[in-house]
Structure formats: C-alpha cells, structure tokens
Amino acid sequence: MLESIGNVFKIPDLKRKILFTALILVIYRLGGFVPTPGVNANVISSFFNSAGASGNLFGLANMFSGGNLGRLSIFALGIMPYITTSIVIQLLGSIIPFFERLKKEGAEGQKKINQYTRYGTVAVAAFQAIGISFWTQSITAPIMVNGVEKVVPAVTHPGLLFVLPSVITLTTGVIFIMWLGEQITEHGIGNGISLIIFAGIIARYPIGFWRMFEYVRDGIMPIFTAVIVLIVMVGVTAAVVLVTEATRKIPVQYAKRIIGRKVYGGQSTYIPLKVNTAGVIPIIFAQSVLMFPKTIATFFRGSAFADIITSWLSRGSFVYTTLYVLLIIFFAYFYTAMVLNPIEMAENMKKYGGFIPGRKPGKKTAEYINNILLRVTLPGAVFFAFVAVLPDFLSKWANLPFYFGGTGLIIVVGVALDTLQQIESHLVMRHYEGFMKKGKLRGRRA
C-alpha cells in the first residue's frame, strides 16, 4: 500500500491532478466560513445545535452542505440543488421521450442534458434561496450577550434589502460550487460534485472522534464501550465496501457474425448487476419524505397535532424507524426499475447477436434479468436500511457524540472507491503496481 501511494507521486500528470483537486477542495472549505451578509452566525449555529433542528430537512441539507447551512455561509445551499436537478432529469429520462432521445444520442445528448441540468440548478437554487431567506428572518435563539443570555433574531435588519442580496449571494454560491466540481472532473481526479460532498461529510468526523475521546476522558462513556463502538465502525465500513462492490454476473454469449472478410463476436462476457444499483438515492428519498411533514410541523410549534407528528417522526422512534426502513426498500426497487430496463437490455443483446445460455432471446431473457434484479436488490436494500438506522442505535446505546453511518458513510465509501479506481487506472496504465495486488478495484456505477 505504501509503495502504491509513493508511486502516485512519481507520475507528474497524476500528481498534478491530485494537487489540483486538493486545492479546489481547500477553496470550497474556506468559502464555507464566509458568512452571508446581514446574518448573525451565532444565532444560526445555536438553532442548528438545538435538539429539534437536526431531524428535519434543514438538518439533511446541512449534512450535504458540509455544515455550511448551519453557519449560513455563502455556500449554505451546498450542492443539493444540483443533486436534486440531476435526479429529476435522470428520472425524466425514463418517462419523457425528449430526454429518452437525448440519452441515446451519446456524447452530444449528454452535453445537452448537462446544460439543462445547469439551468435547472440555477432555478432550484434561486427558489431555495428565497425560502431560506424568509425562513432565516423567523429564527431566534438564546445566546450570551455581555454575559447575559438573550433571545436574539438571526437577522438584525429584515426585509427586502436583506432578502434580495441573500438570494443573489446564495444562488451565486451554488453556481460557484458547481463550477468548482466541474473543474475537478475536468482537470483533477475523481467526480468533482461527489468529492465536494465527500469533503463536507469527512470534515465532521475528526470533531466527532475528538468529542468521543472527551466523553471517555470525562467518564461519560466507558472505555470498553468506546472500543466496541470503534470495532463496529470498522466492521460496518468494511461491510459497506463489500456490498457496494458486490455484483451478480449474468453470463452472455455472442454468436459469430461474418461481415465482409471479418468475423465479429463469438466471445463470452457477462452483465454485472450491482447488489446496490440505486446507491444512496433511496436513503435520500426516504429521509426527504419523512422529514418533510416534521419540517412543516416546526412552523406550528405549540399545536397538539404538530407535537404528535414531531414525536412520531423523531429519529429513533418506532414509527420513524419502521417507515424509514420500508421506504428505503421501496425506493431501492423504484429507482432500480427506473434506471435498469430488462426489456431494453434484452433487445440490445438480441440486436447484437447476444444471448444468455439456456434462455431464449427476447421476452424470456428480459424475464430472467428482471427476476435476478428482484432477488439481488432486496438484500442490498435491507443492508443499507440497516446502515441508515445505525446512527440512531449508536446514539442511544453508546451515547455517541456524532452520527456515524447512514447516508454519510455510504457516500464516503462510494466516492472513495470511485476516486481510488481512477487513481489505480493511472498507475496500471503506466505499469505501476495498483492498490490491489490481485484483481481490479471497481468504482461505483451510480
């Protein structure tokens, strides 16, 4: 491993790409500490540190923004508008004929899709920025002022003169982050957008581990419990890597075809169906669905019905956990059905003379692929549902001072594998030893 890391910096082009990527990520992290004009950052931090703010949509958006929303910096919206737009357009590609045609046009079609995604990102960012600006004006929190605790508003001068600059600032921040991500993808190493999310999530881990150390030092957490928690962390991370990499290979045989004087086909290959085709999307969808009513309830504090909704949909409650697991499994099947079409796969195989041994081309092949998808999706969905609810169990059982697992861990593992796969391809291409002595490191396909 150490030799492979040393080999990375022996290749000038790869070294330049890694240093460029690191520089862009540093710029992104620094920008996350530049406050939005007219906002009291202490009040915002106090609000997000309260018990009720972490379990709603604002808490989810704060995680994806790397804590920038909790400071209401110029990067407060993070890259969520881009992710939302990308998911919507990807889903439209399976529903609307116009986007279906673009997907089949290859590089030119993908270029147009990327352009529409950028336009959609600006629109979504502006809409979210307007909502955030009005919402921020309603925030108050107790903070210490000259040694006295006072309830202070987050915005000292509310009104149009605050909303307009805030919307422009937050929307421009999203556009700049999107540009930074594209620069990484084009000139650096790895997927830029994914690495920006990765950097924001990873930034929370050192603080969480330090707090856990303080818990042990102060006697709040027994050292035996801390050791067990660390072992669980390592084990779960390894399991996530294995499941993320797991595939079900369907053998495919291509018949020989003679065109002119050349012979085509005749080789054996396989279709790799991933156990977790949907990636982290089902968890994001499930969290959004459950957090939406709780977020609405926060605007009606004092109402008995709102208090019931908040209680039922609080993290760790039986209702929340049960609905969360069921929704993750549902969205795993839903998203897999949207991105993988067994009928289309069977038709493409038939078109190029391919067939699955023992299965008739066409309808029978499509049914066979569909049955395999139904079987392999369930264990992957159940496992990632377990990882998603793991933070709730750890926080209750071990009094863990930060959320380990869930959406963050799956994103970190997926992005790390994807980036390592790209680095390894550079090493192998230049005849250096990769990170794995045998086999090949597969990146995620999501």
Helix, strand, or coil (residue 341)? coil
- Which stretch of 163-167, 174-178, 248-252 has the lowest confidence by average pLDDT? 248-252
Neighbour tally for 299: CB within 10 Å: 10
Percent of the chain topping pLDDT 70: 84
Q: What is the mean pLDDT of residues 419-434?
A: 73
Using one digit for the tens of pLDDT, what is the confidence trace for 57-85?
666 677 767 778 878 888 888 888 888 88
Higher pLDDT, 444 or 50: 50
Q: Is the pLDDT confidence value at 304 over 70?
A: yes
CA dist 387 and 404 (Å) reads 9
Higher pLDDT, 352 or 209: 209
* CB-neighbour burial class of residue 336 (10 A; exposed 0-12, middle 13-18, buried 19+): buried
Q: Which domains does the chain have, with CATH numbers?
A: 1-202 (1.10.3370.10), 243-404 (1.10.3370.10)
Q: Is the pLDDT confidence value at 176 over 90?
A: yes
Higher pLDDT, 413 or 268: 413
Q: Is the pLDDT confidence value at 54 over 50?
A: yes
CA angle 393, 395, 400 (to 5 degrees): 135
> What dihedral do alpha carbons 53, 59, 61, 65 form, nearest 10°?
110
Using one digit for the tens of pLDDT, what is the confidence trace for 268-294?
778 888 888 877 778 878 877 777 777
Q: Is the pLDDT confidence value at 407 over 70?
A: yes
CA dist 103 and 109 (Å) reads 6
Using one digit for the tens of pLDDT, what is the confidence trace for 320-332?
888 888 988 998 8
Q: What is the distance between the terminal CA atoms of the chain, rounded to a whole angstrom?
A: 27
Q: Is the pLDDT confidence value at 350 over 90?
A: no
pLDDT of residue 298: 65
pLDDT of residue 360: 83
Q: Residue written as tokens 């998203």?
A: 335
Q: Of the candidates 175, 190, 184, which has an alpha carbon nearest to the alpha carbon of residue 117?
A: 175
pLDDT of residue 256: 67
Higher pLDDT, 342 or 6: 342
- 167 is written with which tokens? 């919307």
Q: Is the pLDDT confidence value at 167 over 80?
A: yes
Using one digit for the tens of pLDDT, what is the confidence trace for 382-396?
988 888 888 777 777
Instruction: Quote the crossing angle between the two packed helices 223-245 and 406-429, to the nearest 10°.
Output: 60
CA dist 345 and 363 (Å) reads 11
Q: Tell me whether strands 354-355 and 268-274 are parallel, antiparallel or unpaired.
A: unpaired
Quickly state the pLDDT bin for 369 (edges 50, 70, 90). Answer: confident
Mean pLDDT, the chain, whole residue set: 80
pLDDT of residue 359: 81
- Does the CA dihedral 21-27-28-30 come out positive or negative? positive
pLDDT of residue 433: 57
Using one digit for the tens of pLDDT, what is the confidence trace for 107-158?
788 888 888 889 999 998 898 888 888 888 888 777 766 767 777 788 888 8
Q: What is the 3-state secondary structure (H, E, C) of 169-200?
A: HHHHHHHHHHHHHHHHHHHCCCCHHHHHHHHH
Tell me the pTM: 0.77
Helix, strand, or coil (residue 47)? helix
Contacting residues for 264 by C-beta, under 8 A, at least 6 apart: 256, 257, 258
